[in-house]
Structure 1
Amino acid sequence: MSVMTPTEFLGGAVPVDGYGPGFFRVGGKVHHGAVIVTETGVTPWQGLDDTAPLLALSGVVDVLFIGMGADVAFPPRDLTDALEAAGIMAEPMNSPSAARSYNVTLSEGRRVACALLPL
C-alpha cells in the first residue's frame, strides 16, 4: 500500500490517505473499487460510463482529476465534452497522480474532486 504525505486541510476536508491494488483509503476509511472523492467525502463510482455523479459536480467543483488506473490514459471524448459543457475542467492522469493532485489542490482551499479507477 502507498501512503500519501500528510498535509493540512481546511474545514475538515477529506483527503486521499493511501491506495493499493483495488482500493483507496480516504479520510481513514478503506473503499474498494472506483470512487469519487470530494472535500465532503467519498462515493462509490461505477467507472467511466457512470457519468451522472460526475456531472452532478457541476457548480460544486472547478476541476476534476480523473485517475485512469495504473497508467495514463484518456477518458472517452464524450465524457470530457459533457464535463466541459457542465463547466468542469477534467484532468486525466494515472490514479496515484490524480490522488496527489487532488490532495494538493484541496489543501489550497480550491473547489476540486477526483474520480479514481483502481490500480
Structure 2
Amino acid sequence: MRLNEIIYTDARPVDGYGPGFFRVGGEVHEGALLLWDKGKAGWGGFEDDGSLLSFVDLVDVILVGTGAEISFLPKELRERLEAEGLGVEVMSSPSACRTYNVLISEGRRVALAVLPV
C-alpha cells in the first residue's frame, strides 16, 4: 500500500483532542471550537446558532461534533440551519475532527463545530 502525505492549503487540521481541549495547527484551544479554512473561534454550543449561521455563504456543510458520544441537535437549531441552506452532519467529536481533516484536504467548503470530549 502506498501512503501519501496530505498537504493542506489554507485550512489548518485538527492535530489532536482530549478532555476539554482541541489542538489545531499545533495550538491548544480549550472548550468548544469553531474551525473553518480562514480561522478558528470559541463556540457557545447548541445555543450559539448565530455563530453557525454566519457560515451561510462560506461553507456547504457544517460538521457538528457532539462530544464523546453522538447525540441529536435540537430540532429548532437543525431547522434554522437547513432553512438557510446549510448542510449539517452530526457525529461524535472525534469522528467530526477526522472527517473535517479529510474534507479540507480535498479543498471542500466545510466548517467544524465541536464540543469537547
Q: TM-score range by the shorter chain?
A: over 0.9
**Distance in 2 between the 1:18 and 1:118 partners?**
11
Given candidates 83, 89, 92, the residue that maps to 2:90 is 92
Partner of 1:117: 115
Aligned length: 113
**Distance in 1 between the 2:20 and 2:31 partners?**
6
Partner of 1:14: 12
Greater C-alpha radius of gyration:
2
Q: TM-score when scaled to structure 2?
A: 0.93
Partner of 1:3: none
Identity, % of aligned pairs?
Answer: 51
**Distance in 2 between the 1:87 and 1:15 partners?**
25
Structure 1: gaps (5+ residues): 1-5
Q: Does 1:81 align with 2:84?
A: no
Q: Does 1:63 align with 2:61?
A: yes
**Distance in 2 between the 1:33 and 1:7 partners?**
27
Structure 2: gaps (5+ residues): none
SS at match of 2:17: strand
SS at match of 1:48: helix
CA shift digits 1:33-83 (9 cap, x unpaired)? 001000112100111101101000001000110000000111101111111
**Residue 7 of structure 1, CA deviation:** 2.6
8 Å Cα contact 1:37/1:114 also seen in 2: yes
Q: TM-score when scaled to structure 1?
A: 0.91
Let me know the Cα RMSD of the aligned residues: 1.0
**Residue 8 of structure 1, CA deviation:** 1.5
Runs of 4+ in 1 over 4 A off after TM superposition: none
